[in-house]
Amino acid sequence: MSASSTPGWVWLLLVGAVIGVSSAGALFQHVDAVPPLLRASWRLQLTSIVLLPLFIVQLNSVEKSVVDKFMTAKTWRLLGLSGVALAAHFGAWVASLDETTLTHSLLFVTAHPLVIVVGMLLLASRIENVRLPYKTETIGAVICFVGAAITLTDTGTTQGDQTATLYGDLLAFSGAVFVVGYIVVGRILRTWLPIFLYAFPVTAIGALLLIPFSWKFEQGFTDFGVVGWIDDEFFRYFLLLALIAGVLGHTGLNTCLRYISPLIVSVAVTLEPVLGSIIGWMFFDAGVPGRMTWVGGLVLMAGLMTVVIASERASLSKANNQNDST
């Protein structure tokens, strides 16, 4: 579908979805009295509850062949793997929000295109279906490394109540590494599996996996409880995380992909660090990033956009060549 024929509501949804996913960091950081792994579990728990009726409706409306394939052990092994990756992603990222500034956390957790390029370099000679990165992707990755290095020189500066630290930045980048597993499995299953049949079980698995880790490693677990989000003090924030960041954000982006080029959606998502920082500053007193974070962050985002544009164009070219050959 061309941009001129795309319904106007889709563009509005894209704007809302990008703002939605961008709001999560500020919301998570605002409720930092709750231990991070438990906070991540609460977010996924409430999102699962919101997704459950949509999952049931979709399960009862899809073709029997899809349901049969959905119920196979192979599919559930992949769903379980994706749930593990999602739990690790949220656990590492939410923990990073307690250890570094909002902007640093958002910059490094959204660096998964860099992780994918490095992964291709490491795995192309070992796995048959993994290609080497294209020249433009490699150039973009180098730009990312330069931007990250500049950003890290701002370690020790403050943004609101938080101080940028190397440890926190590494936690956020770990979140980017883990989310690649979620993305890879999603690309495999979403070729045939409808969105809610994928999103609900993966989200629920992630929520459940985080509970025992929070119980084992976080001292405040017993103070808040497994479903402490029902408390009036926290409910509105985690409802916003579930509805705005989860359903509007992630589900909205998946809906947009049906009408808009993945290139446009992917580039729009790279704006998350900027939008998230603005949301944190305007609504949650998150403060303004340091000077070198501005410089390094813009360079890092430029590198990420370069990688994303090159990768999506390569995917489009491959798809067109396959269509021409059939």
Percent of residues, the chain, with pLDDT higher than 90: 80
At 319, the pLDDT band (50, 70, 90 cuts) reads: low
Q: How far is C-alpha 7 from the geometric centre of its chain's CA atoms?
A: 26
Q: How many CB atoms lie within 10 A of CB 216?
A: 9
**How far apart, in whole angstroms, are the C-alpha atoms of residue 211 and residue 6?**
42
320 has a pLDDT exceeding 80: no
Mean per-residue pLDDT of the chain: 92
**How far apart, in whole angstroms, are the C-alpha atoms of residue 190 and residue 147?**
33
pLDDT at 3: 54
pLDDT at 322: 60
Q: Please list the residues that pair with 235 across neighbouring strands.
A: none
**For 80-92, what is the mean pLDDT?**
97
**How far apart, in whole angstroms, are the C-alpha atoms of residue 12 and residue 14?**
5
**Could you tell me if 306 and 140 are in contact, meaning their C-beta atoms sit under 8 angstroms apart?**
yes
**How far apart, in whole angstroms, are the C-alpha atoms of residue 276 and residue 107?**
10
**Could you tell me if 118 and 173 are in contact, meaning their C-beta atoms sit under 8 angstroms apart?**
no
For residue range 275-302, what is the model confidence (pLDDT) as tens digits? 999 999 999 989 999 999 999 999 999 9
**For 232-254, what is the mean pLDDT?**
91
pLDDT at 323: 56
Region of poorest pLDDT, from 5-14, 29-38, 146-155, 317-326: 317-326
Residue 200 burial class via C-beta count within 10 angstroms: exposed 0-12, middle 13-18, buried 19 and up = buried
Domain locations in the chain as residue ranges: 3-318
Q: Please list the residues that pair with 158 across neighbouring strands.
A: 163
pLDDT at 312: 84
For residue range 88-129, what is the model confidence (pLDDT) as tens digits? 999 999 999 999 999 999 999 999 999 999 999 998 888 888
What is the pTM for the complete model shown? Answer: 0.92
